[in-house]
Amino acid sequence: MHPRLGPKRTLPEGTEEEAIELNKLYDDLRTKLSLSRTDRLAGRALGAWDPDEKAVQVLRKDGKFGNFGYSHCGQFYLENYEALFLLEMNRLQLEYHSKIMSVEQAYLLLLGEAPNTKFNEYLVYSHLTRIGFILVRHQNVAYYDNVEPTEVDCAWALALSVINNRAIPENVKKSPHFVKVKMQMKHIKDCIMKQEQLEQKELVDDESLPPVNFDRKMASTGKRKNVSDEVENPTEAKRRCFEIAAKQRSFLDCLKDEPEYKQFEESFAKIDIIKLRSSTESPEDEIRNLQIVFDLYLHNDGFKKSAPKPPTFRLIILGVNEPFPTHAEISQAYNLQKYPVPLLVVTVGESKQVQAFLYYFS
């Protein structure tokens, strides 16, 4: 006998007691389903399947549709998951070739018969919508296209594109400051690199300053000594610092002669340092391209579908037995956003249990 998943009663399978209990449950279910029900047809909207648009066209509205649907060519349509949700909530009557469809028929039409990701997407959409969140299809837009970017915005966009491989918003690229800031940043980078090389060469070639002897330097107690000549003559102290910098390529080289440095060096030599694998070091075939499915809004944020604000979170939905995203994969999905917001990774288990994990980025 093959084991079955799920909760198990104390009665063994195939016994007479189990058969009696199952028949009792079937009779109770049949009694509940056979009860007559009253239905208010006037309280439901009317929709019909549009094969060309691959969506449900709303022929008659009833109630508020502020968080549902979209307009196209003068007609109002519902996404597949929106139509199925309203149908389950008894707010929509769906017709196919002038025939009223049942919920089971709507599942086959709107989600498809073959296994796909639409069922998990609808399961997450239905669950989060029922508990008060607002979900709309993801749109990777900047949300600040109407705001004129400043030179500071252009500088930050260029810096993040280099550091985090983040896409530069279109409004920043079209800004009159963009080319100017890009040229300035390149010029500053070249000056810094050339200046560093020039200083290194000057410090090595300069033999006019006398050598500094650190052979008799005492162990530091962590406090700077109060030398009388340095207090009376700050210029002399400054000159000594320049002497150290001239002969020792940096002040860090001076600290390496300290006894405390030797102690820390011995301690750190005993530690194993593990470097995290970054997205740039991983082969491209190992990084999945995670797709953001929905934009999530809080119900009390004044959401308007005609003029939406930036979402609170963006949803990535993982199916059954789908591996959890790695650091490189979740970073890539975050950086591809034109307006970055935290990501909400939602997993759907075999028992249709929904779990969510929130990722904040700084």
The per-residue DSSP string of 316-330 comes to: EEE-TTPPPP-HHHH
Report the pLDDT value the prediction gives residue 167, as an integer from 0 to 100: 72
Report the pLDDT value the prediction gives residue 120, as an integer from 0 to 100: 92
For domain 284-359, the CATH architecture is: 3-Layer(aba) Sandwich (3.40)
Report the pLDDT value the prediction gives residue 80, as an integer from 0 to 100: 92
Prediction pTM value = 0.57
From first to last of its 362 residues, what are the pLDDT tens digits of the chain? 444 554 555 656 778 888 888 899 899 988 887 776 666 656 788 999 998 989 999 998 887 888 888 888 889 999 999 999 999 888 899 999 889 888 888 999 999 888 888 999 999 999 999 998 999 999 888 776 556 778 888 888 888 777 766 777 777 888 888 888 888 888 888 887 776 666 556 555 555 545 545 444 444 444 455 545 444 566 666 666 666 666 655 656 666 777 777 777 777 776 655 555 554 444 555 788 899 999 999 887 777 777 778 888 999 999 888 888 888 889 889 888 888 889 999 998 888 888 999 988 86
Sequence-ordered alpha helix ranges (H) in 34-174:
80-88, 103-111, 118-130, 151-163, 170-173
Report the pLDDT value the prediction gives residue 317, as an integer from 0 to 100: 94
Q: Is residue 10 a contact partner of residue 20, using CB atoms and an 8 Å limit?
A: no
Domain locations in the chain as residue ranges: 9-34, 41-114, 142-194, 284-359
Place of tokens 């470097």: 275
Q: Which parts of the chain are beta strand (E)?
A: 45-50, 55-60, 70-72, 75-78, 92-96, 99-100, 134-137, 294-297, 313-318, 343-348, 354-359
Query: 132: left (phi > 0), else alpha (psi -120 to 50), else beta?
Result: left
How far are the Cα atoms of 29, 58, 221 from residue 62, in angstroms, in the given order? 32, 10, 81
| C-alpha closest to that of 339 among 153, 134, 128 | 153
Report the pLDDT value the prediction gives residue 285, as an integer from 0 to 100: 54
Order of strands, edge to edge, in the sheet holding 134-137? 134-137, 294-297, 313-318, 343-348, 354-359
Place of tokens 């109407």: 146
Give CA–CA dist 342/358, Å, rounded: 7
For domain 41-114, the CATH architecture is: 3-Layer(aba) Sandwich (3.40)
| C-alpha closest to that of 124 among 329, 318, 337 | 318
Backbone angles phi, psi at 208, to 5 degrees: -75, -25
Beta bridge partners of 78: 56
Report the pLDDT value the prediction gives residue 218, as an integer from 0 to 100: 47
